[in-house]
Amino acid sequence: MTKKKHIAIIGGGIAGLEAGSVLTRQGYKVTIIEKENKTGGLLNHWSSLFPDFSLPGEVLARIQPENPDLTLIHNTCIESIKKENGRFELFDKRHLKLYADALLLATGLSVFDASLKEEYGYGLFINVITSSDFERIHKAGQKLLTAQGDPPKRVAIIHCVGSRDAKVGNGYCSKVCCITGVKQAIAISRMLPECEVFNFYMDLRLYGSKYDALYLEAQKRHQIQFIRGRLSEVSENQDQSLQLKAEDTLQGRPLRMQADMILLLTGLEAARQNENLCKNNHLELDENRFFKSENMQYHRNCSRQEGIFMAGSCICPMSVNETLDSARSAAIEVDNYLTQKER
Amino acid sequence: MKMVVQQLADDVRLKEGMNACMNCGICTAVCPAAEYFEYDPRSIVVAVQSGNEEKIQQLLTSDTIWMCGQCMSCKTRCPRSNCPGIIINVLRKVSQATGAFVQSRLGRQQYLIMKTIGANLLRYGYCIHPSAVDIQNHPEQGPVWEWVYSNREEVYERLGANLDREGPGAMRKIATNDLLELAVIFEQSGGTVLWQSIETHSKNKAIELGLVDSQGNPCMDLYTNYLLNEDPEF
Amino acid sequence: MKTLNSDNQQLFDKEIAGDDYYYLRSCIRQNFFPGAEKVFLDILTQKLGRKIIDDEHHTTCSGIGYHTDIVPFDTFQAIIARQFALMKEKGAVNAVVSCITSFGGYHEVLETWKEFPEEKRKAQENLKKATGRDFDVPKNIAHACDIIYKYRHEIARLAPYKLVNTHTGEPLRVVDHVGCHYAKIFPDKAVGGAEKTTVLTAMIEAWGGQPVNYPERRHCCGFGFRHYLVKPNRSYSISNARKKFESMQPYRPDLILTNCPGCNMFLDRWQYALAQIEGKTYSDDKNGIPVLSYEELAGLLLGYDPWHIGLQMHQVDLEPLLKRMGIAYSAEAKYRNAKGIPMTPPKFTGCLE
Ligand SMILES: Cc1cc2nc3c(=O)[nH]c(=O)nc-3n(C[C@H](O)[C@H](O)[C@H](O)COP(=O)(O)OP(=O)(O)OC[C@H]3O[C@@H](n4cnc5c(N)ncnc54)[C@H](O)[C@@H]3O)c2cc1C
Ligand code: SF4
Ligand code: SF4
Ligand code: SF4
């Protein structure tokens, strides 16, 4: 038997891990390179998952691949890729790292820096938090408290922060923040039944199966109020509570509201290193800075560089189940490529 | 006559001020006019975007387009880089060019502005002159302004201004030749045409309202008085 | 147009020319606070040793007419082009604009010319035909407050006074109001951008005071152009100004600092008008919250006589602030003419008798 082909996967989030485990089971040698000291990606930080409130730990436990043909390298950030003699060479900060016959990108997402949306006062007003902050608080088993240490009586959840916004250079929809907003509204309501929760949205994009049921539950069981209007400005009152200005567009009237806390549903951006990875090869980014597919419909997992494939949310923002589906279909594409090359 | 939709599109500022609106309401949320009036910059953008001749005609004859205070707070925030305040400028321009403005109470006030700010501009070379801020019309200016107004020669002199005199400095008299240049610029670049349109349509409106002298000519003093005392309809 | 993302944050560090300026006067400033523009020019030339041309041939930019829509955009562009032509004739490339409406207007025209060169050609043609003049676009356009901001530390070094309560040693609490057209139309043309405009707060800090934020900081003063200028519409202006006062009152500010001639006047006068209507003030006394522009404040700190820089033209008295700051002044010199002869004073000053 010939020597096993070697596949390098950049990024050890759930996409990289799932693809890695499928590919080793198919008989390949796989190396996953992860820049953090831990695999699992963003899921490490989340408390429970929409739409069923299952635990991220359960997902991670299922896909932690155990296989002698799989190597995990931590604390290594891949900065560039070169194709040389039909093989790929991966580098981190100038040192040659490893060779591979095929390459799978699973670099995932980075969360929009909410302080860039200056009018919302993140980093300036102490009672403005982000969805990621909330997940961390929730995961640590803490109650949501204002900076003054009181349970908030009113929380406003703000949709589309850093998404669908030419001002911050992100014209696209981040797709999973609407449903995250519904999930977090319910979580707050369960945690603090007395607390009023308002969601300020422009369009509720609850595209997934069971997402609308969660919306219904939020309204019926938890009295979450949904206001159609995008937040324009946050200011801090003397007692550090917050004033927000939006339009209730269904009424056509401007609306000033006082809230104890504001939770920003920050958008999702592509990983920052992606741009570097496109040098010295034919990889391309799309207009939203995610990796561009060879074909949007038919070859979503194939990049513009032969031999390099993509899995999960480095293609576009995705939920966990979509990410896993994407990882498995990427594995099929990689396998097809390597078997065809063989022949 | 060109369709109004086309007249709007002919102004570059429409390209500058309008991309495509997604109805988010961010502009209305911070609009001081929306807080004060029944006014919603979002729906104005949507109406202009619709390109619907009838809807736009309606805007041109309405009080609505005259409610904007031109603060441009909407410009800073729009996630689609629209600027409702600039779209308003274009609507107002067409409303004045077509005469639609005299059909609304707030629109008719353009006559008053032309006769004050406009007149100041060409007469003094400034939009505002101390002698034009009289105390009857400006009670809010208070007793200190009353004192300044009544002693303006002395007050401005003490503060090193050059009120109504030749040479450089604050409130100086602008040389005849410089004023003439302003007037010719007005003539050359469409300012005069606009004023003629405001004047003609206002006169016709005065006649329509029966504000005429014994010969049946429009009496613009009566009209001015009428405008200053017109009751809001809402 | 530029957008706000992490890469162009530094754009908010706008470039401000350091010397050789050309002054573009403000209709409202010279009308209501002529002493403020006098002291600005004096600080620049006498204290900071910079050169500035005060050209008698320039006129209004017609911005108030433009925003009340009685001056067409083409005319506005041509009038601005004329100011640029005068600059060119004097060999000046750094414009200093005293008015906020003008500042927004100059930038609106320049941005339009960048995006639509045919508009610039039209302005060139209109100007040429009307006046025979040619123009160049200035190298730098700064608002007068940008210049004071640029030299704030130098001013602090030269200043005998500070924004400090000399009785308690505490910094004075200062709220700022930034004129809408300074930052809202083109955030990258404003020091600190539109949301966290720092042009005034940096001065307050450099001069020993404490900048105080308040919820309606970014709200318009209420001028509203046609709403103030047409008497029956004026309640729009006052009701917006009221929102700001209500919002700042709980913070008990010692001073309102402004960068716009109009705002400076409105925030002063509307306090008086509101007191007359409502019988109350937004300060702990009958006077109201003192209002100063950056030039007036810089002048005071540098030791200029308050009555030489025109503080007697304010309705809300500055004396309580002067006392707190330990600035000596002569009460009886307040209402004298240029020859030193006493004048009959106003009926009353402050907000309530
Ligand atoms: C606040 C919030 C809540 C969410 N809640 C849910 C939920 O409840 N349910 C749900 O279905 N989805 C949820 N999501 C979405 C979910 O996080 C994503 O579906 C999931 O993280 C995608 O996995 P991934 O592997 O594609 O990317 P990631 O999780 O981003 O993993 C990518 C990995 O690649 C690594 N990496 C990147 N670049 C390099 C490089 N150059 N070299 C080496 N390593 C690199 C990163 O360190 C990271 O570990 C939520 C998202 C947010 C923002
Ligand atoms: S998913 Fe919802 S919150 Fe997120 S960008 Fe799209 S519309 Fe906005
Ligand atoms: S802010 Fe912009 S996109 Fe939103 S409603 Fe106003 S004009 Fe439309
Ligand atoms: S410019 Fe006009 S529409 Fe825009 S916020 Fe100001 S008042 Fe409202």
Give per-residue pLDDT as tens, B97-115.
999 999 999 999 999 999 9
Mean pLDDT, to the nearest integer, of B27-51? 96
What's the confidence (pLDDT) of residue B132? Answer: 87
Burial class (CB in 10 A: 0-12, 13-18, 19+), B61: middle
pLDDT reading at C256 higher than 60 = yes
Chain C, nearest residue to B197 by Cα:
C70
Q: Are B84 and B25 in contact (CB under 8 A)?
A: no
Ligand 1, from A17, A91, A320, A329: best to mutate by most atoms within 8 Å of Cβ? A320
**HSE toward the beta carbon, residue B106, CA cutoff 13 A:** 25
pLDDT reading at C92 higher than 70 = yes
Give the model's confidence band at A123: pLDDT under 50 very low, under 70 low, under 90 confident, else very high. Answer: very high
- The CATH architecture of the domain made up of A6-108+271-342 is 3-Layer(bba) Sandwich (3.50)
- CATH 3.50.50.60 holds for A114-268: yes
Beta strand ranges found along chain B (DSSP E): none
What's the confidence (pLDDT) of residue C6? Answer: 33
User: Are B93 and C72 a contacting pair at CB < 8 A?
Assistant: yes
Measured distance CA(A273)–CA(A317) in Å, rounded = 16
Task: For chain A, list residues whose CB is within 8 angstroms of any CB belonging to chain C.
Answer: 113, 116, 118-119, 124, 166-169, 233, 235-238, 243
Nearest CA of chain A to the CA of C154: how many Å?
Answer: 29
Give the one of B32, B157, B184 whose C-beta lies nearest to C222's C-beta: B32
Average pLDDT, chain C: 95
pLDDT reading at C5 higher than 50 = no
What's the confidence (pLDDT) of residue A314? Answer: 98
> Which residue's CA is the closest to the ligand 2 atom numbered 8?
A160
Q: Look up tokens 């608002």; give the residue.
A: C143
Q: Which residues of C326-352 are buried (b: 16+ CB within 10 A; e: fewer)?
A: ebeeeeeebbbeeeeeebeebebbbbe
User: Are B34 and A230 a contacting pair at CB < 8 A?
Assistant: no
Query: Quick check: helix, strand or coil at residue C260?
Result: coil
Q: Which residues of C174-213 are buried (b: 16+ CB within 10 A; e: fewer)?
A: bbbbbbbbbbbbbbbbbbbbbbbbbbbbbbbbbbbbbbbb
Q: Are C303 and C161 in contact (CB under 8 A)?
A: yes
Give the one of A168, A235, A243 whose C-beta lies nearest to C3's C-beta: A168
What's the confidence (pLDDT) of residue C76? Answer: 98
User: Are C4 and A237 a contacting pair at CB < 8 A?
Assistant: no
What's the confidence (pLDDT) of residue A85? Answer: 86
Calculate how far, in angstroms, residue C216's C-alpha sits from the geometric centre of ligand 2. 28
Mean pLDDT, to the nearest integer, of A124-148? 97
Chain B CB contacts of C229 under 8 Å are: 113, 116-117
Residue type, C54: D
Mean pLDDT, to the nearest integer, of C97-103? 97
Q: Beta strand C21-24 with C52-53: parallel, antiparallel or unpaired?
A: parallel
Mean pLDDT, to the nearest integer, of C132-154? 97
CA distance to A50, C149, C200, C247, C323, per residue, from C175 (Å): 45, 16, 9, 11, 19
Q: Is the CB of A175 under 6 A from ligand 1?
A: no
Q: How far is CA B74 from the centre of its chain?
A: 19
Chain A, nearest residue to C215 by Cα:
A235
pLDDT reading at C9 higher than 90 = no
Q: Look up tokens 């309102």; give the residue.
A: C256
Among A230, A173, A177, residue whose Cα is nearest residue A201: A230
pLDDT reading at B229 higher than 90 = yes
Instruction: Specify the long-range contacts of residues C246-251, CB closer than 8 Å, at least 24 apart.
Output: C246/C216, C246/C282, C247/C214, C247/C215, C247/C216, C247/C217, C247/C219, C248/C175, C248/C212, C248/C214, C248/C216, C248/C282, C248/C289, C249/C282, C250/A238, C250/C214, C251/A238, C251/C173, C251/C175, C251/C212, C251/C214
User: Are C75 and B160 a contacting pair at CB < 8 A?
Assistant: no
User: Are C226 and B158 a contacting pair at CB < 8 A?
Assistant: no
Lowest mean per-residue pLDDT among B109-123, C10-24, C129-143, C252-266: C10-24
> Which residue's CA is the closest to the ligand 1 atom numbered 51?
A176
Q: Which residues of C76-108 are buried (b: 16+ CB within 10 A; e: fewer)?
A: bbbbbbbbbbbbbeeebbbbbbbbbbbbbbbbb
Say what percent of chain C tops pLDDT 90. 96
Sign, Cα dihedral of C146, C150, C154, C157: positive
Measured distance CA(C95)–CA(C83) in Å, rounded = 10
CA distance to B30, B78, B84, per residue, from B17 (Å): 17, 11, 7
∠ CA(C42), CA(C48), CA(C52), 5° rounding? 60
User: Are C4 and A235 a contacting pair at CB < 8 A?
Assistant: no
In sequence order, the 6+-apart residues with CB closer than 8 A to the CB of A270 are A107, A109, A110, A285, A288, A289, A290, A291, A314
pLDDT tens digits, one per residue of A251-286: 999 999 999 999 999 999 999 999 999 998 999 999
Size of interface A-C (CB pairs under 8 A): 34
Calculate how far, in angstroms, residue A84's C-alpha sits from the geometric centre of ligand 4. 59
pLDDT reading at B83 higher than 70 = yes
CA distance to B162, C328, C334, C337, per residue, from C342 (Å): 21, 20, 9, 6
User: How many C-beta neighbours within 10 Å does residue B67 have?
Assistant: 24
What's the confidence (pLDDT) of residue B232? Answer: 79
Output the six-digit token pair for B100: 């639609």
Asked, as a colleague might, if the bond just before A151 is cis with ω within 30 of 0, I would say no
Delimiting residues of CATH 3.50.50.60 domain(s) in chain A:
6-108+271-342, 114-268
What's the confidence (pLDDT) of residue C12? Answer: 64
Q: In this structure, what DSSP letter does residue C1 have?
A: -
CA distance to A147, A290, B10, C235, per residue, from A240 (Å): 8, 38, 49, 31
Q: Look up tokens 């999960």; give the residue.
A: A312
pLDDT tens digits, one per residue of C207-243: 999 999 999 999 999 999 999 999 999 999 999 999 9
Beta strand ranges found along chain A (DSSP E): 6-10, 29-33, 70-73, 80-84, 87-92, 95-100, 102-105, 109-111, 128-130, 154-161, 196-201, 225-228, 233-236, 242-248, 253-259, 261-266, 268-270, 308-310
Lowest mean per-residue pLDDT among A7-11, C27-31, C75-79, C97-101: C27-31
Measured distance CA(C187)–CA(C203) in Å, rounded = 19
What's the confidence (pLDDT) of residue A66? Answer: 82
Measured distance CA(C165)–CA(C153) in Å, rounded = 20
Measured distance CA(C175)–CA(C257) in Å, rounded = 6
Question: How many residues are present in chain A?
Answer: 343
Please tell me if residue A202 touches chain B, with a CB cutoff of 8 Å: yes
pLDDT reading at A133 higher than 80 = yes
Give the one of C34, C37, C231 whose C-beta lies nearest to B228's C-beta: C231
pLDDT reading at A2 higher than 80 = no
DSSP string, C121-146: HHHHHHHHHHH-------SEEEEHHH
Give the one of A166, A235, A236 whose C-beta lies nearest to C3's C-beta: A166
Q: Are A204 and A236 in contact (CB under 8 A)?
A: no
Beta strand ranges found along chain C (DSSP E): 21-24, 52-53, 94-97, 140-143, 173-177, 210-211, 255-258, 291-293
Measured distance CA(C282)–CA(C286) in Å, rounded = 9
Nearest CA of chain A to the CA of C353: how many Å?
Answer: 30
Mutate to test the interface with C, among B96, B141, B185, B226 (most CBs of C within 10 A): B185
In sequence order, the 6+-apart residues with CB closer than 8 A to the CB of C225 are B69, B70, C64, C67, C68
Q: In this structure, what DSSP letter does residue A6 have?
A: E
Ligand 1, from A77, A105, A109: best to mutate by most atoms within 8 Å of Cβ? A109
Give the model's confidence band at A95: pLDDT under 50 very low, under 70 low, under 90 confident, else very high. Answer: confident
Chain C CB contacts of A166 under 8 Å are: 3
In sequence order, the 6+-apart residues with CB closer than 8 A to the CB of A230 are A159, A160, A200, A201, A202, A246, A247, B24, B25, B26, B29, B79
Among B74, C213, B71, C258, residue whose Cα is nearest residue A242: C213
Chain A CB contacts of C211 under 8 Å are: none
Domains of chain C: 18-144 (1.20.1050.140), 152-325 (3.40.50.11810)
User: Are A116 and C4 a contacting pair at CB < 8 A?
Assistant: yes
Q: Which residues of A122-140 are buried (b: 16+ CB within 10 A; e: fewer)?
A: beebebbbbbbbbbebbbe
∠ CA(A221), CA(A225), CA(A227), 5° rounding? 155
Output the six-digit token pair for C176: 């700022």
Please tell me if residue A243 touches chain B, with a CB cutoff of 8 Å: no
Give the one of B24, B31, B76 whose C-beta lies nearest to A202's C-beta: B24
Atom of ligand 4 nearest to the CA of B73: 5
